[in-house]
Amino acid sequence: MKKYILSAIKGMFLGIAIGLCISIFFNYLNGADTYLPSTPVFTSHFARPLDAVTFSVVLWALMGLVFSMGALIFQIERWTLLKRTIVNFFVYYIFFTPLAFMAHWFIIDLPHILVFTIMFTLIYVLIWFINAQLIKNDIKQINEKLKK
């Protein structure tokens, strides 16, 4: 249980850090004079900019929680890799999508949901293949050390 709590806390702080870095990057990219934690549409829903930042921090923490807890699915050894990957994908998608919507990263209508889903899927597949290659390289190195 302690392992899960620590993973959750670590994920939440990592989510906040990543969210903050990404938001700062996009502020510079868009030439903003004033910091906006998310889109102008998102920020316009709040009475004060500080409220928008606070809500963004909560969203980023929840996003970090989703990804840290979802990653634990890969520790279920009795499941095949395919089953773990499919379950992990849907856990991420089902719990991340509402958070992305609350952050006003996309509009809820069919075309925007389709674009979001395609982008999410492509990013997921890319990250999965990168991780698979890293694991493959680790296994190769371990096998080489065992042969010596």
Q: DSSP characters for 84-141?
A: HHHHHHHHHHHHHHHHHHHTTSS-SSHHHHHHHHHHHHHHHHHHHHHHHHHHHHHHHH
Q: Are 101 and 114 part of one and the same domain? A: no
Q: DSSP characters for 35-76?
A: --SS-HHHHTTSSSHHHHHHHHHHHHHHHHHHHHHHHGGGG-
Range of the domain at 43: 2-105
| Main-chain phi, psi angles of 130, to 5 degrees | -60, -45
Q: Are 40 and 10 part of one and the same domain? A: yes
148 has a pLDDT exceeding 90: no
Q: Are 7 and 20 part of one and the same domain? A: yes
| 57 exposure class (CB count in 10 Å sphere: 0-12, 13-18, 19+) | middle
Banded model confidence at residue 100, pLDDT cuts 50, 70, 90: very high
Q: Are 48 and 83 part of one and the same domain? A: yes
Q: According to the model, what pLDDT value does residue 96 have?
A: 98
Give the position of tokens 């970090």.
64
Number of compact structural domains in the chain: 2
Banded model confidence at residue 112, pLDDT cuts 50, 70, 90: very high
Q: Are 101 and 126 part of one and the same domain? A: no
Residues 6 or more apart from 120 whose CB is under 8 A from it?
92, 93, 96, 97
DSSP H or E run through 33 = none
7 has a pLDDT exceeding 90: yes
CA distance 56 to 99: 10
Q: Are 79 and 127 part of one and the same domain? A: no
User: Which pLDDT tens digit goes with each residue over 33-92?
Assistant: 999 999 999 999 999 999 999 999 999 999 999 999 999 999 999 999 999 999 999 999
